[in-house]
Amino acid sequence: MKRRNFLEAAGLAAAASTIGKPAIAQPTPEIKWRLTSSFPKSLDTLYGVGEIFAKAVAEATDNKFQIQTFAAGEIVPALNAADAVSNGTVEMCHTGSYYYIGKDPTFALGTAVPFGPNARMYNAWWFFGGGRELLNDFYKKFNLYAIVANNTGCQMGGWFRKEIREVSDLKGLKFRIGGFAGTVLARLGVIAQQIAAGDIYPALEKGTIDAAEWVGPYDDEKLGFHKIAPYYYYPGWWEGQATGHYFINLDKWNSLTPTYHSILRNAASVSNEWSLAKYDAVNPAALRRLLAGGTQLRAFSPEIMDACLKAALEVYAELSAKNPDFKKVWESMLAFRNEQYFWWQVAEYSYDTYMIRSRSRT
């Protein structure tokens, strides 16, 4: 065989041995994680979010990735869920970011802040406005990676033993209220207390607190606040939406394959969609039941709303001046919210306002 023909034949043989064999699929690792929730099982929607998520992950992986969910208190207390993830006690949790403002007020921006965006605006900001990148850059300082888990939509303003007619009625009020809103209301004389869901009713019953807010009619009815405090106020201006997150231990997240990253994100989208749809479906009937049972619905007066907005803007300005992380995330969210309202006032708000007025005719 001539040298040239020999080299060509050898080259073809080598190529055949390199690309002729089919690719061998990499095995999908079997993984078992624990998820601790900040919510009790009695709150079937909030606790159920984690169950919906775990089921979606298991189904997408033929049960190779299993996540066992635990209610608040079964592994750690409700408000220690993120700490358990940071230190590696569990791989992940479902919680509200704003429960951890004691570490840094920037945590509040993950869940809800007074006069912030509504649910659809928050989702748009998270996925398309840089919110996911900004907050995960912040969360990594605490060994956490966040994925949006759920949204409650706009919340109610809470249950009060007495009517709140004027701004002065807030002074000295012992109010169970979560996260950042307590900092704002403290400027108006409110004594804010952050209490986990399961402990609110006894605190209200014993008079340890004068008022309490949680989410909205469906959950509030389950917690029984209407049995103690007759006045139900709206809107919950501190939570025009409230986003929950799955916090995942950053090292555990980084150890996953890109396939598992995708599966977890997709499963979280399922629980996020499910939670908001569930609340939208069940809140109207729950509110009607509460009103039929004697609950007295009240709106916060324009004067109270204006005073709260003024106090909130003061807090934002002060925090932004001394906390670069807070300033960066808040300014991004604020600019996005304002641009969204430019659009909403043209289409969404105009349509909804007309339809609300026209309900009796359709």
Three-state SS sequence of the chain: CCHHHHHHHHHHHHHHHHHCCCCCCCCCCCEEEEEEECCCCCCHHHHHHHHHHHHHHHHHCCCCEEEEEECCCCCCCHHHHHHHHHCCCCCEEEECHHHHCCCCHHHHHHHCCCCCCCHHHHHHHHHHCCHHHHHHHHHHHHCEEEEEEEECCCCCCEEECCCCCCHHHHCCCEEECCCCHHHHHHCCCCEEECCCHHHHHHHHHHCCCCEECCCCHHHHHHHCHHHCCCEEEECCCCCCCCEEEEEEEHHHHHHCCHHHHHHHHHHHHHHHHHHHHHHHHHHHHHHHHHHHCCCEEEECCHHHHHHHHHHHHHHHHHHHHHCHHHHHHHHHHHHHHHHHHHHHCCCHHHHHHHHHHCHHHC
Query: What is the structure's pLDDT at 22?
Result: 44
Query: What is the structure's pLDDT at 1?
Result: 44
pLDDT band at 340 (very low <50, low <70, confident <90, very high): very high
For the chain, the average pLDDT equals 93
**Does the pLDDT value for residue 14 go beyond 50?**
no
For 73, left (φ over 0), alpha (ψ -120 to 50), or beta? Answer: left
For residues 119-125, give the mean pLDDT: 98
With a pLDDT cut of 90, the percent of the chain lying above it is 89
- Residues 290-319 have pLDDT tens digits of 999 999 999 999 999 999 999 999 999 999
The whole-angstrom separation of Cα 154 and Cα 117 is: 10
- Residues 36-45 have pLDDT tens digits of 999 999 999 9
Which among 278, 324, 312 is positioned nearest to 182, based on CA atoms? Answer: 312
Region of poorest pLDDT, from 22-26, 62-66, 266-270, 353-357: 22-26
Query: What is the structure's pLDDT at 27?
Result: 61
**Does the pLDDT value for residue 12 go beyond 50?**
no
Q: What is the pTM of this model?
A: 0.90
**Does the pLDDT value for residue 54 go beyond 90?**
yes
The whole-angstrom separation of Cα 283 and Cα 118 is: 17
For residues 247-263, give the mean pLDDT: 98
What phi and psi values does residue 272 have, to the nearest 5 degrees? Answer: -65, -45
10 Å CB burial of residue 294 (0-12, 13-18, 19+) is: exposed
Query: What is the structure's pLDDT at 179?
Result: 73
pLDDT band at 9 (very low <50, low <70, confident <90, very high): very low
Name which residue leads in pLDDT, 361 or 271: 271
For residues 156-165, give the mean pLDDT: 97
For residues 136-162, give the mean pLDDT: 98
Query: What is the structure's pLDDT at 28?
Result: 78
**Does the pLDDT value for residue 50 go beyond 50?**
yes
10 Å CB burial of residue 299 (0-12, 13-18, 19+) is: exposed
pLDDT band at 178 (very low <50, low <70, confident <90, very high): confident
For residues 270-286, give the mean pLDDT: 98
Query: What is the structure's pLDDT at 2?
Result: 44
Query: What is the structure's pLDDT at 362?
Result: 81
Domains, the chain, with CATH or none: 31-151+241-281 (3.40.190.170), 158-239+294-352 (3.40.190.10)
Query: What is the structure's pLDDT at 20?
Result: 45
Query: What is the structure's pLDDT at 117?
Result: 98
